Amino acid sequence: MQRAICLAKRGHFTTSPNPRVGCVIALNGEIVGEGFHKKAGQGHAEVHALKQAGSKAKGATAYVTLEPCSHFGLTPPCAEALIKAQVSHVIAAMVDPNPKVSGRGLELLAAAGITTQFGLLEQDAIALNPGFIQLMTKKLPYVRCKLAASLDGKTAMASGESQWITSPDARADVQRLRAQSCAVICGAESVIFDDARMNVRWDALGTLKNSYAEADVRQPVRIIIDGKNRLTPDLAIFKTTSKILLIRHAIEKSQTWPHFVEQVTISKAVDSEYVDLSLLLAYLAQQGLNDILIESGAKLAGAFINANLVDELVLYQAPKLIGSDGKSLVSMPTIIKLSEAKILDIRDVRMVGKDIRITAKFSQ
């Protein structure tokens, strides 16, 4: 199962929005077949492993990180493929949270006389697919917020100058965060001020280029919150052709937008001039976007955090001091007491180049 989990990780930057899944088939203590799910619409992990195992799959044990599917999607059910191959035993790390499966795959296998188990290295398997699991269980995407600051918590000079606070290594790491995400959210102000493209830049992916072809790394949907309709088609973000959603209160009809741009109206929050962020996330979930990265300025990041809509924070801190006149990390003016502070559980701290990367989960 450890090998199956390692295989699943090979789809980390390509499978989304499908789950990352690995499968190992073993006979008499030896691996005879293995595979992983690479991309939506392509063969599942079990299919690749069975193809490699061939006739040796008969009587073998299949170790799979996620319960084999039992329904027809873009590909046939994997449970039926395992039955047809006449494996004798199937061990799943976890039951599929998808209501279309959720135990039915294991039931189908058991009805065919195949013995089944689940729960082996379950937590490792859960960690593979936070977005997929959250969408299936809560009908919401998993939201990750990326922030970058100096050691004294400043994101830019008072003038707005911010390029670059963090090191090239940290910025390459952010490219990997984008590459693993279904979508990236930013605000119109950031796009206009930085003339940002918000796409995954292949030349900045570093060592990832040794393991993936450029065509396999999917560009995330770029979501720009532009409630005041300030964006114009001449900006750099509209020069690259991956999909863009412009989130607005009203459709802009006076501009001609590229074919990959879609305008979406989201209502204002109650007693506010801004987009209702809860409604936005619900809309993205309906579109099947389950793993979201927020890259924005202090106001939008603070609004998401203040509304308890962020699951995970990734903070890069550079070994620099900017001073009191610099721009702050997040803006949450409604927090006026220490007892109202947002509490985080730090899960990982490591060096990325010369910078510190802190990964933390918000306490519920």
Q: What are the residue boundaries of the structural domains of the chain, listed by start? A: 1-128, 133-362
Residue 51 φ/ψ, nearest 5 degrees: -60, -40
What separation in angstroms does the CA of 41 have from each of 72, 75, 169, 348? 12, 7, 33, 34
Ranges of residues in the chain whose predicted pLDDT is under 50: none
Domain spanning 1-128: which CATH class is it, in words? alpha beta
Q: Which entry of 46, 122, 262, 340 is annotated as an active-site residue?
A: 46
pLDDT at 285: 97
Residue 308 contacts residue 336 (beta carbons within 8 Å):
no
**Whether this model's pTM surpasses 0.85:** yes
Which DSSP state fits 258? P
pLDDT at 269: 84
Q: 165 by DSSP, 3-state: which?
A: coil
Fold of 133-362: Dihydrofolate Reductase, subunit A (3.40.430)
Write out the E strands in the chain. 22-27, 30-36, 61-64, 89-92, 115-118, 142-150, 154-156, 183-187, 221-225, 244-248, 261-265, 291-294, 312-318, 327-328, 344-352, 355-362
* Helices H / strands E in the chain, number of each: 10, 16
- Which residues are annotated as part of the binding site for substrate? 162, 178, 201, 295
Nearest to 348 by CA among 338, 363, 360, 335: 360
| 80 part of the active site | no
pLDDT at 72: 63
Angle of CA points 245, 249, 253, to nearest 5°: 70
Burial class (CB in 10 A: 0-12, 13-18, 19+), 196: middle
Nearest to 65 by CA among 95, 92, 33, 37: 92
Q: 248 by DSSP, 3-state: which?
A: strand
What are the start-end ranges of the H helices in 181-319?
Answer: 188-194, 277-286, 298-306
Which DSSP state fits 169? H
pLDDT at 185: 97
Residue 147 contacts residue 155 (beta carbons within 8 Å):
yes
